[in-house]
Amino acid sequence: MYRLFLAAAVSLMAGFAPLAAADLVLRAADTHPYGYPTVRSVQHMGELLEKSTEGRIRISMYPGRQLGEEWDTLEQTVFGAVDINRVFLAALQNVAPETIIPSLPFLFRSEEHRDRVLYGPVGDEILASLEPYGLVGLTFYESGSRNFYNTRRPILTPADLQGLRIRVPNSDMNVAMIELLGGNATPMELGQVYEGLRNGTVDGAENNWPSYADTRHFEVAPFYSLTGHSMTPEILVISKLTWDKLSPEDQKRVREAARESARYMSTLWKAQVQEARERVEGAGNKINDVPDRDAFRRALQPLYERFAGTPRLADLVRRAEETE
Ligand code: GTR
């Protein structure tokens, strides 16, 4: 009788204890829908993590603004209701000034230069700068070059933006960028932009090829002008509250899986840009190069002093520029 009781107790513990003690499901948010490279990359991170922790840690994805716009989900991440969040770096610029650096117009000379900065010591310092705000930066994801698009006319020179209402992500630096070019900046979350373009609240916005195509903005704003003014990346963060509950070994596994998912993202990205471009061109949109990209660079130069003028930020800019 006693042995039977013991056996039952042991099998009960074997059945429940490991699950209850070890299973951790991390809730991950993304504004983009299933199938978008950022979402697929975070899912890939989940698979890697599941493997390296033998099923103890998993990621459950909430894409397509299920948990709100980027700013809402960031707040939820600080309070631990969301564990992992993939957002555009601009969403953090008013919080942690270091995150402005990779968004400074024309900072990166090439995609290779950008990657060496982001995945080197400068990038690591920017990721680490988020901790006082309740977030741990895990990695950056590339996000291509951003270009202007609008409902009115091709943008060839900064003067063509004169008087246009341009949507920007909610960041002071982005507002100042549009003002320096002579446009009227309208901060707005990405999810509101399609309707804004359709009803004329805004005349235009700026984004990379995949976002221009996947949000269907190209259907309402046919002029896409290849200014390539910024290469602002995406960022993957985890709540500091969640992070502090992980063992040092699991923290290492999470970081490694995140970093590996950034490599995965790069392989998806190129194909996505190509596919988006073909879709937009196929729809008959008016795509134009800008004859003098330097005119945009000169017009936007004051942003460096205004938003990265402190010794610490200026030093990060200098080190980014000096990165080979
Ligand atoms: C996209 C980015 C989104 C979103 C958007 C924006 O490129 O992937 O996370 O923040 O830009 O302009 O708001």
Task: Supply the pLDDT for residue 17.
Answer: 40
Ligand 1 geometric centre to CA of 52 (Å): 30
306 and 292 in a common domain: yes
Give buried/exposed letters for 11-41 (b at 16+ CB in 10 A, else e): eeeeeeeeeeeeebebbbbbbbeeebbbbbb
Q: Which residues does 282 contact at the CB level (< 8 Å), separation at least 6?
A: none
Task: Supply the pLDDT for residue 323.
Answer: 98
Range 16-27 average pLDDT: 65
Q: Which residues line ligand 1 (CB under 6 A)?
A: 31, 70, 87-88, 143, 169, 190, 207-208, 211, 234
27 and 115 in a common domain: yes
214 and 84 in a common domain: no
121 and 253 in a common domain: yes
Contact of 190 with 70, CB cutoff 8 Å: yes
Reply yes or no on whether the pLDDT at 51 is more than 60: yes
Query: How many domains is the chain partitioned into structurally?
Result: 2
Confidence tier at 92 by pLDDT (50, 70, 90):
very high
Ligand 1 geometric centre to CA of 55 (Å): 32
Angle between helix 121-128 and 311-322 (nearest 10): 150
Q: Where are the alpha helices (DSSP H) in 168-247?
A: 172-180, 193-199, 209-214, 217-220, 240-243
Task: Supply the pLDDT for residue 175.
Answer: 98
170 and 124 in a common domain: no
Confidence tier at 15 by pLDDT (50, 70, 90):
very low
Contact of 28 with 83, CB cutoff 8 Å: yes
124-160 pLDDT, tens digit each: 999 999 999 999 999 999 999 999 999 999 999 999 9
Q: Which of 12-26, 100-114, 128-142, 156-170 has the lowest mean pLDDT?
A: 12-26
Contact of 153 with 258, CB cutoff 8 Å: no
124 and 17 in a common domain: yes
Range 27-35 average pLDDT: 97
The number of beta carbons lying within 10 Å of the beta carbon of residue 121 is 11
Nearest atom (ligand 1) to Cα of 169: 13
238 and 219 in a common domain: no
Task: Supply the pLDDT for residue 20.
Answer: 41
307 and 160 in a common domain: yes
- pTM for the complete prediction? 0.92
Ligand 1 geometric centre to CA of 13 (Å): 47
Task: Supply the pLDDT for residue 13.
Answer: 43
Most ligand 1 atoms within 8 A of CB, residue of 189, 190, 206, 273 to mutate: 190
Nearest atom (ligand 1) to Cα of 86: 9
Range 213-239 average pLDDT: 98
Ligand 1 geometric centre to CA of 269 (Å): 14
CATH code for the domain in which residue 36 is found: 3.40.190.170
Range 246-274 average pLDDT: 98
Nearest atom (ligand 1) to Cα of 210: 7
Structure token digits, residue 17: 């204890």
Most ligand 1 atoms within 8 A of CB, residue of 178, 211, 269 to mutate: 211
Identify the DSSP state of 309: -
Contact of 258 with 41, CB cutoff 8 Å: no
Nearest atom (ligand 1) to Cα of 90: 10
Give buried/exposed letters for 281-319 (b at 16+ CB in 10 A, else e): eeeebebeebeeeebbeebbeebbeebbeeeebeebbee
Please give the Cα distance from 240 to 131 (Å, whole number).
Answer: 7
**What's the distance, Cα to Cα, between the start and end of the chain in Å?**
75
Query: What's at 202, amino acid-wise?
Result: V
Most ligand 1 atoms within 8 A of CB, residue of 72, 208, 231, 234 to mutate: 234
238 and 213 in a common domain: no
Please give the Cα distance from 89 to 94 (Å, whole number).
Answer: 10
Task: Supply the pLDDT for residue 259.
Answer: 98
Structure token digits, residue 79: 């309070």
Rounded percentage of the chain residues whose pLDDT exceeds 90: 93
Query: What's at 234, amino acid-wise?
Result: E
Please give the Cα distance from 292 to 228 (Å, whole number).
Answer: 12
Confidence tier at 18 by pLDDT (50, 70, 90):
very low
130 and 196 in a common domain: no
Confidence tier at 303 by pLDDT (50, 70, 90):
very high
Task: Supply the pLDDT for residue 10.
Answer: 36
Identify the DSSP state of 160: G
Reply yes or no on whether the pLDDT at 7 is more than 60: no
196 and 103 in a common domain: no
- In terms of Cα–Cα distance, which of 252, 258, 251, 254 is closest to 236? 258
Please give the Cα distance from 121 to 282 (Å, whole number).
Answer: 42
Ligand 1 geometric centre to CA of 5 (Å): 58
- Which structural domain range is residue 217 located in? 146-231+282-322
Most ligand 1 atoms within 8 A of CB, residue of 88, 193, 237, 272 to mutate: 88
162 and 14 in a common domain: no
Please give the Cα distance from 54 to 299 (Å, whole number).
Answer: 53
